[in-house]
A and B are shown apart, each in its own frame.
Chain A
Amino acid sequence: MKKWMIAPLALCASVALADERFDEMIQSSFKPHGQATMDRMEQDEVQKACSQPDAMDQATAEKLRQAQMETIQWPSDGDYWEGGDWEEGHKIAFSGRGMTWRDDPEVPNGGGCYNCHGLDPAEMSYGTIGVNLQGYAKIRGRSDEIVKYTWGQIYNAKAYNVCSDMPRNGFNGILTEEQIRHVMAYLFDPESPVNK
C-alpha cells in the first residue's frame, strides 16, 4: 500500500499544500501553442493515478483498468485486419508525427510504433521502451483472442495495464479506426515484412 493512497490525515494537509504549490508551478510555467493548449496540462484519473514513482494498490488499479476497457471501440464491421493495408500500416508505424504544437491537426497522425517497438526485423532503427514485436503473428498466431487483444491494446493500452507507457491511440483520437486496421494488417498480414 502506498502512502499517497492512505495518507494519515495529518499528512494530508501538507500534501494538499504541496499539490497546490505544484499546480501553481504547472499553471505558471506553460503557455498554449497551436493545438497544444493548456487543457493538456490537466490530468484525467488514469494520468493522475499513474504519476507516482511507486505503483498504486491493486484494487484501485483494477477499477481504473476496467473503466478503460469500457472505452474500447471494436471495429464497427468486425474487420480487425483483413481489410487493412500493411503498407499503409508500415507508414503509420514509421511516422512519429502529430499532436505537437508544431503539427497541423488536419494532417493524419503517425502511430510512432518504431519509437518504442521493433517490428520489421530488417529495420535497424527501433526503440526498446515497448516489447519487441518482430515476427508478431508468425510467433503469436492469428487466433480471435490474440487479434482482439491486439486491437484493444492499440486502441487503449490502459485497458490491460493501467499505467502502461503506451499512448491510448484510439481513445485519445491519435489514430482513426481505419489507421488502426492498417497497423493491425502490418502485424497480422502474412505478407507484411513484420512476419517475414
Chain B
Amino acid sequence: MKKNKLVAVTAAAIGIAIAAPATAQDDTAAALEQYRQMIQESNPAELYEMEGEELWTTARGPKNATLEQCDLGLGPGVIEGAYAQMPRYFEDTGKVQDLASRLMTCMETLQGIPSEEIIDGKFRQGERGKLGAILAYVVGQSRGDTIAVDLDHPKVKEMYELGKQAFYYRAGPMDFACSTCHSSDGKRIRMQDLPNLTTQEGAAAGWGSWPAYRVSNSQFWTMQHRLWDCFRQQRVAEPIYASEVTIALSTYMAGTANGGTMNAPSAKR
C-alpha cells in the first residue's frame, strides 16, 4: 500500500482569498502571504513527482535496472521518510551524502549511469534533470515528517561544522557569504523573504520547503540548484554539482532545522 503523500487539497485557496484583508499598506505582507498560500495548491511540482515515480520503477541505463533496490539509508527500496533524515553517512561509500549525491550513487551502481554525466551536465537536462524528478518523488515521500539528521554521528557532525564555516565564509568582489542574507530575522531581498538559517525555526522554514517549483521561471529546482544560484549571486566561482561544500551546507541547514517539518516539494515565487 503506497502512502499517498501529495497534499490534500481543499477549497482553502478560495477561503483565503475571501478572508484576506484589504486595508492599509501594512497589509502588503498579508496579501503576499495570501498569494503564497494560494500557489501551494496543486503545485506543478507534482508533475515532477509523478515523473520521478515512474523513473524510479523504470529499468534504465547500461544495466537496464530500476532504482527499486536503492538504499537511501533506511534499507534497499525504502523511500518513505528517508529524505527527512538526510544528509546522512553511508557505509558503502564512506561519505556523508545528500539525496542528490546518493541518487547519483544508486544510478551508477544499480543502473550503470556514470556520475560524471550528471556532474558535468546541466540542471533540468539529461540525466541530471531525471535525477531532479526522482528527487522530487523521494522528497514527497517525507512530506509531513520530522526533520531528523543524525548529528551524533561524528562524520555527519564534521560535515555540519564544515558547512557552518562555509556559511560564514565571505569571499568574492561583493564580500558576500550565505550569512550576509541568511543570519538575521525578518530580512528580505527586494520582496523576497530571507529565512534566518542560523535559527531552528528559520532553517526549518528554509530546508523544509526545498526542493520547490518556482513560479517565476516555471522550473522545478533542487537544493543543489538553489545553492548553485546562491553562489552565482554571491559572485564567487561555480560550485561543482554534489561537491563537498554543497553537502556540507545542506548538512548545516538540515541539522539546524532538526525537529522541523518537511513540506517539500513546495511552490515558490
Residue of A nearest to B158 (CB): A21
Residue of B nearest to A157 (CB): B175
A-chain residues with CB within 8 Å of residue B172 when the two chains form the complex: 36, 40-41, 99
* Residue in B166, B173, B243 whose CB lies within 8 Å of A99: B173
Number of interface residues of B (CB under 8 A): 43
Given contacts A40-B235, A127-B187, contact A47 B171 (CB under 8 A): yes
- Shortest distance in angstroms between B107's beta carbon and chain A's nearest beta carbon? 21
Asked if A30 and B239 sit within 8 Å, CB to CB, the answer is: yes
A-chain residues with CB within 8 Å of residue B232 when the two chains form the complex: 36, 100-102
- Is B165 in contact with chain A by the CB < 8 A criterion? yes
Main secondary structure of the interface of A (DSSP, over half): loop
A18, A100, A158, A172 pick with most chain B CB within 10 angstroms: A100
Asked if B166 and A25 sit within 8 Å, CB to CB, the answer is: yes
Given contacts A22-B162, A36-B238, A124-B28, contact A28 B243 (CB under 8 A): yes
- Is A147 in contact with chain B by the CB < 8 A criterion? no
A-chain residues with CB within 8 Å of residue B191 when the two chains form the complex: 124-125
A-chain residues with CB within 8 Å of residue B173 when the two chains form the complex: 40, 99, 167, 172-174
Within 8 A of B (CB), among A122-139: 124-129
Asked if A38 and B237 sit within 8 Å, CB to CB, the answer is: yes
A-chain residues with CB within 8 Å of residue B183 when the two chains form the complex: 53
Residue of A nearest to B181 (CB): A129
Complex Cα distance, B161 from A22, in Å, reads 10
Asked if A51 and B235 sit within 8 Å, CB to CB, the answer is: no
Residue of B nearest to A33 (CB): B238
- Shortest distance in angstroms between A128's beta carbon and chain B's nearest beta carbon? 5
Given contacts A29-B240, A29-B246, A51-B170, contact A36 B190 (CB under 8 A): no
Given contacts A37-B237, A101-B232, contact A29 B245 (CB under 8 A): yes
* Residue in A31, A42, A167 whose CB lies within 8 Å of B174: A167
Residue of A nearest to B247 (CB): A29
- Is B188 in contact with chain A by the CB < 8 A criterion? yes
Asked if B177 and A31 sit within 8 Å, CB to CB, the answer is: no
Within 8 A of B (CB), among A1-48: 18, 21-22, 25-26, 28-33, 36-38, 40-43, 46-47
Complex Cα distance, B187 from A37, in Å, reads 30
- Is B186 in contact with chain A by the CB < 8 A criterion? yes
Asked if A51 and B244 sit within 8 Å, CB to CB, the answer is: no
Within 8 A of A (CB), among B184-221: 186-192, 194, 198
- Is A72 in contact with chain B by the CB < 8 A criterion? no
B-chain residues with CB within 8 Å of residue A61 when the two chains form the complex: none
Asked if B189 and A116 sit within 8 Å, CB to CB, the answer is: yes
Within 8 A of A (CB), among B22-69: 28
Asked if A128 and B186 sit within 8 Å, CB to CB, the answer is: yes
Asked if A30 and B190 sit within 8 Å, CB to CB, the answer is: no
Residue of A nearest to B198 (CB): A53
B-chain residues with CB within 8 Å of residue A64 when the two chains form the complex: none
Given contacts A21-B162, A52-B168, contact A30 B175 (CB under 8 A): no
- Is B180 in contact with chain A by the CB < 8 A criterion? yes
Given contacts A40-B172, A46-B175, contact A25 B244 (CB under 8 A): yes
- Is A90 in contact with chain B by the CB < 8 A criterion? no
* Residue in B170, B188, B231 whose CB lies within 8 Å of A50: B170
Complex Cα distance, B233 from A56, in Å, reads 26
- B-side residues, CB < 8 A to A, are 28, 161-162, 164-166, 168-177, 179-181, 183, 186-192, 194, 198, 231-233, 235-240, 243-246, 248
- A-side residues, CB < 8 A to B, are 18, 21-22, 25-26, 28-33, 36-38, 40-43, 46-47, 50-53, 99-102, 114-116, 124-129, 158, 165, 167-168, 172-174
A-B interface, 7 closest residue pairs, ranked by CB to CB distance from nearest: A29-B245, A29-B243, A33-B238, A167-B174, A30-B237, A47-B170, A99-B235
Q: A31-B238, A100-B233 are known contacts; what are 4 more A-B pairs with Cβ within 8 Å?
A: A22-B162, A28-B243, A41-B237, A116-B189
